[in-house]
Structure 1
Amino acid sequence: MSSGFSDFFYTSPDGLELHARIYGEANSGHWPVVCLPGLTRNCRDFHGVALFLSQQAQTPRNIVAFDYRGRGQSAYDADIGHYNVGVEAGDVLAGLAALGIEEAAFIGTSRGGLIIHVLGAMRPAVLRAIVLNDIGPVLEAGGLAHIRSYLERAPKPKTRAEALSAVRGAHGSDFPALTEAEWERMVAALYRETDEGLLPDFDPKLVDTLAGLDLTQKLPDMWPQFEALAAIPLFAIRGANSKLLSAETFDQMRNRHPCVETITVDAQGHAPFLESGGLPVAIAAFLDRAEQRFAAK
């Protein structure tokens, strides 16, 4: 056990060694929480909120934060065609099976939220409550273009100071209120130390998975998958400056889901820091309400 978590390794259905962090292993009797990160992100994004939910919340929970294949401490895949939400959803289910978890609350940031939509089609019984962090059934082409442009032109900083400057330069206008400590946490989650200096902590081939997207055309939406989640309590978070989740889509999510609670985080873009702005307390309270309502049925 180190810094409030332990490392868990398991094997994917096609034989890759994959990784997750486990917080609050001794916590039982309540729904565990599964944390799913964004496209090129990893389990470290959830460290702050996972510590809160496992140690400080009124109902301490077991937290599992996944590294998808090709990210963090999970093995890279030689076939970049396997870097898709369907395969990654299957990997998550394999990890949950290895941990003996049959049902849980899920927190999905960006791509993690898309994976939750897929899990709703693959195995809806595993989903007890859902937190979507700046993601919905409609992706704005401009937001995806911004992500693709940043990844294709991502700087290669040699030092942590250069990394801080680069990350601020790319995201500062969307996150005007972040503190120095929060920028440093972003850099610590994005990069890993190597003999060659700092490197982004994901398979560089992930960038190629975005290359074929025609962002001049309307992107397919996931409204049918979203509406299939109607019976599951949902807490939807949007960054006020988000380029990926529009205010219009956010309003439609509110109108189309009968069990939804929403919050907009001021002065943050895609995607809000889950350890900031009172979000840990709000998420913990939502999970407690959802579990109590379920128990009362």
Structure 2
Amino acid sequence: MLTARLHKVQWLSPQGLQQLAYREWGDPDNPHVLLCVHGLTRVSRDFDALAQNLGKDVRVVAPDVPGRGQSDWLADPNLYAIPTYVSAMVALVARLNPGTLDWLGTSMGGLIGMGYASLPGNPVRKLILNDVGPSLNFEALQRIGQYVGKSPTFDSLEQGREYIKSISVPFGPHTDEQWKQLCDGVLVQKDGQYTTHYDPKIAHAFQNLSESTTQMHEAALWAAYDAITADTLVVRGEHSDLLSPQTAQAMGQRGPRARVIEVAGVGHAPTFMQDEQIHIVRKFLF
């Protein structure tokens, strides 16, 4: 059983110095790093099962993206955006000093990975985009926007677990213990109650969301995707409402010409807690 080591690294945001928390599994001197970046309302702890499997071969590192988990919150809600997150990851990668860097990004973490891997001179060798691409389904974004930023409170941990599970049904089938891990990682206790772990202001980007602004973002995302040269794998949940089959197919035909794998019985997004999903990552990296 590998123990996660919790660290923090300082990075420079437009509003000043911030602390970015991250977890690390495996040999701290292993030059081969797999950087795992979570989705919009998730945390670094999501990748523990994956790290337990891969941590003997690679150093697995997972940050809490700014505004989540144990990382600093940002005073200006406009800074909760991909360019800010990429800046934080640049500081993290500099701290890690990898000889080989691979990236697994789920949903938002994949968009951050696309932004990072599109930059000239970036060190990403292999890029795994988990249920996300340059074209994002507007209805799916609206669905996500309905619960992000509400910061609900619960009288008990069990109530909190039931809520998190209810909004996480698209993750697909999990054991009771796996659901417990997925729920407990994103709940914190405050003043005798439980609430979500993130800054409610991360929802700012969803407040003025429209089909036209979504299309503008898509143009920029496709430009970033087309600039990627890393060996790329797209993992799509069979029932995903965020990444369409058409977008996944297009990602296999342009830019880095990604390989595409579909995970049966799952929506948005695969959690990489199941053995068959972990095997996808292992097979692609080695």
TM normalised by structure 2 equals 0.90
Contact 1:145 1:215 in 2 (8 A): no
Task: Please name the residue that 1:179 is paired with.
Answer: 175
- In structure 1, give the amino acid aligned to 2:68: R
Task: Please name the residue that 2:281 is paired with.
Answer: 283
Task: Give the Cα separation in 1 of the matches to 2:151 and 2:245.
Answer: 28
Contact 2:4 2:23 in 1 (8 A): yes
Contact 2:226 2:256 in 1 (8 A): no
Task: Give the Cα separation in 2 of the matches to 1:246 and 1:124.
Answer: 30
Which of the residues 231, 245, 249 maps onto 2:247? 249
Q: Does 1:25 align with 2:27?
A: yes
How far has the Cα of 1:89 moved from its partner?
0.4
SS at match of 1:12: strand
How far has the Cα of 1:135 moved from its partner?
0.6
SS at match of 2:270: coil
Q: Does 1:199 align with 2:195?
A: yes
Task: Please name the residue that 1:189 is paired with.
Answer: 185
Q: Does 1:97 align with 2:99?
A: no
How far has the Cα of 1:171 moved from its partner?
3.5
Judged with a 3 Å threshold, the aligned counterparts in structure 2 of structure 1 residues 156 and 268 are, in CA distance, closer, same or farther, namely farther
TM-superposition CA deviations, 1:124-143 (whole Å, max 9, x none) = 43111001111111111011
Query: Within 5 Å, which residues of 2 pair with 1:70-149?
Result: 70-101=67-98, 103-149=100-146
Task: Please name the residue that 1:237 is paired with.
Answer: 235
TM-superposition CA deviations, 1:164-183 (whole Å, max 9, x none) = 322333343x3452322222
Task: Give the Cα separation in 2 of the matches to 1:215 and 1:117.
Answer: 22
* Uncovered stretches (5+) of structure 2, i.e. residues with no partner: none
Task: Please name the residue that 2:6 is paired with.
Answer: 7
Judged with a 3 Å threshold, the aligned counterparts in structure 2 of structure 1 residues 217 and 260 are, in CA distance, closer, same or farther, namely closer
- Aligned structure 1 segments of 4 or more residues deviating by more than 4 angstroms: 152-155
Report % sequence identity. 26
SS at match of 1:143: helix
Contact 1:96 1:102 in 2 (8 A): no
Judged with a 3 Å threshold, the aligned counterparts in structure 2 of structure 1 residues 107 and 157 are, in CA distance, closer, same or farther, namely same
How far has the Cα of 1:25 moved from its partner?
3.0
How far has the Cα of 1:146 moved from its partner?
0.5
The alignment of Structure 1 onto Structure 2 pairs a total of residues equal to: 280
TM-superposition CA deviations, 1:67-118 (whole Å, max 9, x none) = 1211111111111121111011011111111222365000001111111111
SS at match of 1:16: strand
SS at match of 2:153: coil
Contact 2:37 2:109 in 1 (8 A): yes
Judged with a 3 Å threshold, the aligned counterparts in structure 2 of structure 1 residues 176 and 53 are, in CA distance, closer, same or farther, namely closer
Which of the residues 62, 67, 71 maps onto 2:64? 67
Task: Please name the residue that 1:37 is paired with.
Answer: 38
Contact 2:236 2:261 in 1 (8 A): yes
Please give the root-mean-square deviation of Cα atoms over the aligned residues, in Å: 2.1
Which of the residues 159, 162, 165 maps onto 2:159? 162
TM normalised by structure 1 equals 0.87
